[in-house]
Structure 1
Amino acid sequence: MAAATAKTRALRSSPGTAGLYAKAALPLIPGASLLPFVAGGGSKIPRTVLTLDGVKATRDELAAYDRVCGFTLRDTLPSTFIHVKAFPLHMALMTDGSFPFGAVGLVHLRNRITQLRPVEAGERFDLRVSTMPLQPHPKGRTFTIVSEARVGDELVWQDASTMLRRGTGDKSAPKPPEAIGASQLPFVAQWKLGEELGRRYGAVSGDRNPIHLHALTAKAFGFPRAIAHGMWTKARCLAALESTLPDAYAVDVTFKRPVLLPSKVTFAAEDGRFAVRNPKDDTKIHLEGTVTAA
């Protein structure tokens, strides 16, 4: 049987994430998933493509993002900033009524970004976001959201975010990527993260998941305190490495354990490998990643 043809939907403007998070919470209401506009009623990942043309960063939002994540103010976009621009499209896909489960409670396992060339702050680019089919995992099932940015016909940026839906695991599922020896990397810096970090990053990114904003809302989802956004942690690592990054590179990270707020973490790096660790125990890894020339 031939695979179903993907349905492409062109958006005129970026979706508002506040409304999308309200919609994302609806599946938590018993019986709400029976409604056709609420996620949770499907059986598999829909083949949907969302596009948004003419995306551009304002100087103010870029400066605010750079300050929160630790980048120097410059005339090119951090590769993680383009992820922020694609994120509302991610949420729109995951809150659609055809999506098989709700977005709240998903775990961001891994993110890979490929920057094929620097994107100037004043350039307009077109986004294309789609989802890949469900895959088995030892702790449930995963799927990947794939994003692309083009300037005209030129592909300049790609992103793949792999999400875990917890559930019955599959022992035959592929094993996760091999560890990079994160506990052995040399210490570079210690970062002190304030309790308000999740709210600050949420304000510049639009990612206002309640697990990141306040201890009270995080406790409702099983966390003792609010946790830092995984994509903030990745961005902070790239900011620490930005003087060494080539114009074209791929940066691949695995999110290993949450970073509670407030807290202190250490950053370690060597030869294209990097990690964020617990300052009292180098074997407790929050994030590990690699950077390679593209």
Structure 2
Amino acid sequence: MAAAPNSTVRRLSGPPGTLGLYAKAALPLIPGASMLPFVAGAGGKLPRTTLTLDGVRTDRDQLASYDRVCGFTLRDELPSTFVHVQAFPLHMALMTDGAFPFGAVGLVHLRNRITQFRPLRADETYDLRVHTMPVQPHAKGKTFTIVSEARVGDELVWQDASTMLRRGKGSKDAERPKPQGGPAPSELPFVALWKLGEDLGRRYGAVSGDRNPIHMHAYSAKLLGFPRAIAHGMWTKARCLAALESTLPDAYTVDVTFKRPILLPGKVAFAAEDGRFAVRNRKDDTKIHLEGTVTAA
């Protein structure tokens, strides 16, 4: 499998444990800790490292729990967002490496694009590769993208690009996002009202390994600047795909932009039409939490 150009390849013998990685991610919050060589956040360029994990197998119990939390039908094909969950520990391993220029705490997930070239079956074994793309200027700081790939043998079956924002001094020359064609997200027809419980972040965190404190409890979220815990962006994307599940082709690209956090507990409106969808404030359609598109690949 191809790695990032001119990168160093590190082959992992197993998936990294996310609990330990979150503890490591919190180290830059300690004054002066970012100067230590094993702590991320000292600045500089992104390391040109590709992490690889071969022979990934699906835990059927984890898959069933994930399907239930996100609203998918229980079946033998993996939701495309479930493969992101399998790649997530590699994301964390990259972002908590001592050579990484930004601390993981405080990064904002702006966008996620997944292409499923064909469905992955739960009984298939696949290989993962993860690397970062170069830092880009942004109006509110800097962004970088983590690219993940899944292959069965030599066949590329799945690809994911997660774009993260590091807040800071913005650039006037940063490229502005281009508006999508068609109706605005606020004009898409209403489909369903979703009631989200206070424990949603803990439930999703248990099956995904994403235990960022902003999702776990109101108290820990307040320590990081939020009035209450917020829903995971990737849960919200998965819930949208679950709502569209019966209409998805075997090969597709689903591209979403995360606009504003969803406070827990809460209620949000799901709207969709002709391959476009949005999650909106239930009382004000102009307040968009997520907007996205699904196109045949």
Normalised by the size of structure 1, how large is the TM-score? 0.98
Q: Which residue of 1 aligns with 2:250?
A: 247
Does 1:86 pair with 2:87? Answer: yes
Q: Which residue of 2 aligns with 1:279?
A: 282
Q: Distance in 1 between matches of 2:29 and 2:141?
A: 19
Q: Does the C-alpha gap of structure 1 residues 92 and 283 become closer, same or farther in structure 2, counting only changes over 3 Å?
A: same
After superposition, the C-alpha distances for 1:263-282 in whole angstroms (9 at most, x for unaligned) are 00000000000000001000
The Cα of 1:4 is off from its aligned counterpart by 8.0
Q: Distance in 1 between matches of 2:175 and 2:9?
A: 30
After superposition, the C-alpha distances for 1:142-178 in whole angstroms (9 at most, x for unaligned) are 0000000000000000000000000000011000231
Q: Which residue of 1 aligns with 2:99?
A: 98
Q: Distance in 2 between matches of 1:177 and 1:136?
A: 16
Q: Which residue of 1 aligns with 2:185?
A: 182
Q: Distance in 2 between matches of 1:21 and 1:71?
A: 28
Matched residue of 2:21: which SS? Answer: helix
Q: Which residue of 1 aligns with 2:134?
A: 133
Q: Distance in 1 between matches of 2:255 and 2:128?
A: 20
Among the aligned pairs, what percent are the same residue?
80
After superposition, the C-alpha distances for 1:181-205 in whole angstroms (9 at most, x for unaligned) are 1000000000000000000000000
Q: Distance in 2 between matches of 1:190 and 1:121?
A: 31
Structure 1 counterpart of 2:292, which letter? G
After superposition, the C-alpha distances for 1:13-69 in whole angstroms (9 at most, x for unaligned) are 000000000000000100001111000124011110000000011111100000000
Gaps of 5+ in 2: none
After superposition, the C-alpha distances for 1:98-139 in whole angstroms (9 at most, x for unaligned) are 000100000000000000000001100000000011100000
Matched residue of 1:281: which SS? Answer: coil
Structure 2 counterpart of 1:189, which letter? A
Structure 2 counterpart of 1:11, which letter? L
The Cα of 1:5 is off from its aligned counterpart by 2.4
After superposition, the C-alpha distances for 1:71-118 in whole angstroms (9 at most, x for unaligned) are 000010000000000000000000000000100000000000000000
Normalised by the size of structure 2, how large is the TM-score? 0.97
Matched residue of 1:30: which SS? Answer: coil
Gaps of 5+ in 1: none
Aligned partners of 1:42 and 1:97 also within 8 Å: no
Moved more, 205-214 or 54-63: 54-63
Q: Distance in 1 between matches of 2:41 and 2:203?
A: 31
Q: Which residue of 2 aligns with 1:167?
A: 168
Q: Distance in 1 between matches of 2:281 and 2:91?
A: 30
After superposition, the C-alpha distances for 1:206-257 in whole angstroms (9 at most, x for unaligned) are 0000000000000011100000000000000000000000000000000000
Aligned residues: 292
The Cα of 1:179 is off from its aligned counterpart by 4.4
Q: Distance in 2 between matches of 1:274 and 1:103?
A: 29
Matched residue of 1:189: which SS? Answer: strand
Candidates 205, 214, 237, aligned match of 2:208: 205
Superposition pairs of residues 250-265 of structure 1, within 5 angstroms: 250-265=253-268
Q: Distance in 2 between matches of 1:42 and 1:269?
A: 41
Superposition pairs of residues 1-294 of structure 1, within 5 angstroms: 5-179=6-180, 181-294=184-297
